[in-house]
């Protein structure tokens, strides 16, 4: 298996292994190198079966303090041993020099690694990676330096994972026998930015940025996102900007935190949501007035045409019918995936198990699906009508009635984006955007065809211009020596 193909598998292993360990303890002197961890694991594996042979080793991301791999040492390690000629294996997990996971099973055997082949330790390769490539500690995911050892094409390959000089995810692979660099790769972004389509012509601005939102008012256009995104974070250099001239020039606005949602009310007043707060009346000279502040993160939110607002946070729904003048609360009866609010103040939630619940004076009532076996993929409320996407198509019904009607679609749209009374549908792989007529529920119209996969976050229309917020995707590329 090639190095690059192996990388994808190893990233999944990192995430799976973390779940095998319990809650993290207090930092101690229990950090050890890869070879020290293998020595501990070998002793226990030989007790299980005298023929046990190593096949792989991984450090495990943790927050226990210490050097976090700076010297090649980590608190937690996991490794797999097999019995050659059989499908028997054992997974051993080590934390603070103690074996805390011992799990046997059966699987197709992987190539083995002789202990005598491991000439270099994690302490050696991390120093080589820093000296040759300027490798830095990872952030956001796989924090600090992490290490893996596998047999690839018959050679023991010892990897060190961290960030390159531009804080992009990077992996340097060494031959553990002689220290030769086998591969040096990092995740580079491609795509991203703000696309404007007018008269069939596309224009890309803010190239390479993660534009996570766009909204058009009567005379103003607002975008927000991250100027310097990485694969695992779009909050590195957050911004929100607006334009008075259809995107020709931009002015940065003031916020206390990164923006998650923004919208205009009927008077073209700008509202924004940050991690735990809602703000109203934002301008280029003022960050506006705070209308809601919560102790927990805003998980999802919605606003209606007449600016009723609903917010989901920590199992509670906060909603207002007077633009934030006063708020009411309701307990979500089940974990909600999203929440919506109508012009009449009706609150509707979509549960994580894809059940639609509508709040009433007496509690929450489930809304019956149009087809018995239908499961909603997404849901939006516009005015006082509920729109859902399912495998069978897009359906709509008045919240006060029980009859559903179907909207004709050319291609299945699994994600809905609403902007005021406008509704858009995004196809499953993000290559096309459709405009859905919410007035007469006629057939949807394709308004953008990328011809290839793009990461679409948001969309809106201002005059005769379609605005599309996109974020970069990432691919493994060879990493040159600085």
Query: pLDDT 10s per residue in the chain (482 long)?
Result: 444 444 444 443 443 444 444 333 333 478 999 999 999 999 999 999 999 999 999 999 887 778 889 999 999 999 999 999 999 999 999 999 999 999 999 988 889 999 999 999 999 999 999 999 999 999 877 889 999 999 999 999 999 999 998 888 999 999 999 999 999 999 988 899 999 999 889 999 999 999 999 999 998 999 999 998 888 888 888 999 999 999 999 999 988 789 999 999 999 999 999 999 999 999 988 989 999 999 999 999 999 999 999 999 999 999 999 999 999 999 999 999 999 999 999 999 999 999 999 999 889 999 999 888 889 999 999 999 999 999 888 999 999 998 999 887 776 667 999 999 999 998 876 678 989 888 776 667 888 987 677 889 999 999 999 999 999 989 999 998 87
How confident is the model at residue 439, as a pLDDT? 77
How confident is the model at residue 62, as a pLDDT? 82
Gap between the Cα atoms of 381 and 388, Å rounded: 9
How confident is the model at residue 252, as a pLDDT? 94
Angle 297-162-194 (CA atoms, 0-180°, nearest 5)? 55
Gap between the Cα atoms of 231 and 225, Å rounded: 14
How confident is the model at residue 142, as a pLDDT? 80
Residue 12: both structure tokens together = 């999944």
Picking from 151, 50, 30, 150, the residue whose alpha carbon sits closest to that of residue 99 is 30
Count of residues in the chain: 482
Picking from 7, 466, 11, the residue whose alpha carbon sits closest to that of residue 194 is 466
- CB count within 10 Å of CB 285 equals 8
Picking from 143, 141, 152, the residue whose alpha carbon sits closest to that of residue 182 is 152
Picking from 114, 131, 149, 140, the residue whose alpha carbon sits closest to that of residue 33 is 149
Element containing residue 18 per DSSP (H, E): helix 3-18
Residue 470: both structure tokens together = 């996109």
How confident is the model at residue 461, as a pLDDT? 95
Gap between the Cα atoms of 345 and 59, Å rounded: 51
Give the max Cα distance, the chain.
Answer: 77
Sheet containing strand 413-419, edge to edge, reads 413-419, 422-427, 432-436, 445-449
Fold classified for 189-478:
Methylamine Dehydrogenase; Chain H (2.130.10)
Residue 118: both structure tokens together = 């491991």
**Concatenated DSSP letters of 20-89:** TS-S-----S--B-HHHHHHHHHHHHHHH-TT-EEEEEEE------TTTTTTS-BSEEEEEEE-TTSSEE
Find out whether 34 and 122 touch, Cβ atoms under 8 Å: yes
- Tell the residue number behind the tokens 């992490």, with chain if given: 146
pTM of the model: 0.78
Picking from 370, 363, 453, the residue whose alpha carbon sits closest to that of residue 405 is 370
How confident is the model at residue 432, as a pLDDT? 85
Q: Where are the domains of the chain?
A: 3-179, 189-478
How confident is the model at residue 28, as a pLDDT? 47
């Amino acid at each position: 298996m090639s190095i690059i193909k192996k990388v994808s598998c190893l990233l999944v292993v990192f995430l799976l292994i973390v779940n095998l360990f319990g809650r993290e303890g207090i930092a101690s002197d229990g950090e050890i190198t890869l070879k020290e961890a293998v020595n501990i694991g070998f002793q226990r594996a030989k007790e299980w079966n005298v023929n046990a042979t190593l096949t792989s080793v991984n450090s495990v991301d943790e927050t226990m303090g210490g050097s976090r791999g700076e010297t090649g040492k980590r608190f937690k390690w996991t490794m797999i041993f097999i019995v050659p000629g059989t499908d028997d294996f054992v997974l051993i997990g080590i934390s603070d020099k103690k074996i805390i996971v011992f799990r046997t099973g059966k699987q197709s055997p992987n190539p083995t690694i002789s202990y005598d082949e491991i000439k270099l330790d994690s302490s050696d390769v991390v120093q080589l990676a820093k000296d040759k490539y300027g490798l830095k500690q990872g952030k956001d995911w796989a924090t600090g330096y992490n290490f893996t050892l596998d047999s690839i094409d018959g050679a023991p390959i010892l990897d060190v994972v961290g960030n390159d000089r531009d804080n992009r995810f990077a992996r340097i692979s060494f031959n553990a026998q002689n220290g030769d660099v086998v591969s040096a790769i990092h995740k580079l972004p491609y795509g991203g930015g703000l696309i404007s389509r007018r008269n069939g012509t596309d224009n890309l601005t803010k190239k390479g940025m993660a534009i996570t939102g766009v909204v058009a008012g009567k005379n103003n256009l607002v975008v927000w996102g991250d100027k310097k995104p990485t694969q695992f974070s779009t909050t590195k250099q957050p911004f929100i900007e607006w334009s008075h001239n259809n995107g020709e020039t931009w002015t940065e606005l003031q916020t206390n935190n990164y923006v998650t949602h923004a919208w205009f009310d009927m008077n073209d007043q700008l509202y924004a949501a940050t991690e735990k707060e809602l703000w109203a009346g934002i301008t280029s000279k003022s960050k506006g007035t705070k209308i809601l502040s919560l102790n927990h993160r805003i998980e999802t939110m919605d606003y209606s045409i007449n600016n009723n607002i609903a917010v989901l946070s920590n199992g509670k729904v906060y909603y207002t019918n007077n633009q934030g003048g006063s708020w009411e609360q309701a307990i979500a009866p089940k974990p909600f995936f999203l929440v919506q609010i109508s012009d009449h103040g009706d609150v509707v939630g979509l549960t994580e198990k894809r059940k639609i619940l509508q709040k009433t004076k007496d509690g929450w009532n489930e809304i019956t699906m149009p087809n018995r076996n239908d499961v909603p993929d997404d849901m939006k409320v516009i005015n006082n009508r509920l729109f859902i996407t399912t495998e069978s198509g897009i359906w709509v019904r008045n919240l006060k009635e029980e009859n559903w009607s179907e909207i004709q679609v050319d291609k299945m749209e699994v994600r809905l984006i609403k902007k005021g009374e406008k509704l858009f549908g995004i196809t499953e792989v993000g290559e096309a955007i459709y405009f859905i007529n919410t007035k007469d529920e006629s057939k949807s119209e394709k308004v953008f065809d990328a011809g290839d996969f793009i990461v679409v976050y948001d969309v809106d229309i201002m005059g005769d211009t379609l605005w599309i917020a996109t974020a970069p995707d990432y691919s493994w590329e060879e990493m040159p020596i600085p």
